[in-house]
Amino acid sequence: MPDSDKLPQWDVQSKAVSHCGAGCTLGDIGAEWLVYAASLTLAGKALYADFALDFAFAWILGILFQYFTIVPMRNIGRLKGVWAAVKADTLSIVAFQIGLFLGMWLYQEVIFSPGLPKTSAAYWMLMQLSMVLGFFTAWPVNAWLVRIGWKERM
């Protein structure tokens, strides 16, 4: 975007993190309900299944969001577009999910052990707070990705 060069860094960074967070959040919500509906566990815990599926869904959606942003902006082919999307968002997604998972672990294992039910409003309020934590853990990674040109200025 030509006008993005004139924007302050905090504006560019907040948009980059929000773009990452959008894919992560949608993936996390879908995965959370799948774990709940299918009564999935990993190592005997639903929380670990949440972590695994949340990350997988967030990564897939995040890469798709980046792909459909990068390919038209850079006018590149499909394969180069996939690679550019993977480079642009993988580290960002990892950083976002680290913050999210830390928040989830705190409220599911430490504060409310053995955990809140996914059908409760408190669970989803705390998920939102955990996603805010993910926003802040992804901020420095996104700043770096934009600075080195792997992620587009928005």
Per-residue pLDDT of the chain (154 residues; tens, 9 = 90+): 446 667 777 778 888 888 888 889 999 999 999 999 999 999 999 999 999 999 999 999 999 999 998 899 899 999 999 999 999 999 999 999 999 999 999 999 999 988 999 999 999 999 999 999 999 999 999 999 989 988 877 7
For the chain, how many helices (H) and strands (E)? 4, 0
CA dihedral (73, 74, 80, 83) positive or negative: negative
Q: What is the predicted pLDDT for the residue at 1?
A: 47
Per-residue pLDDT at 4: 60
pTM across the whole model: 0.89
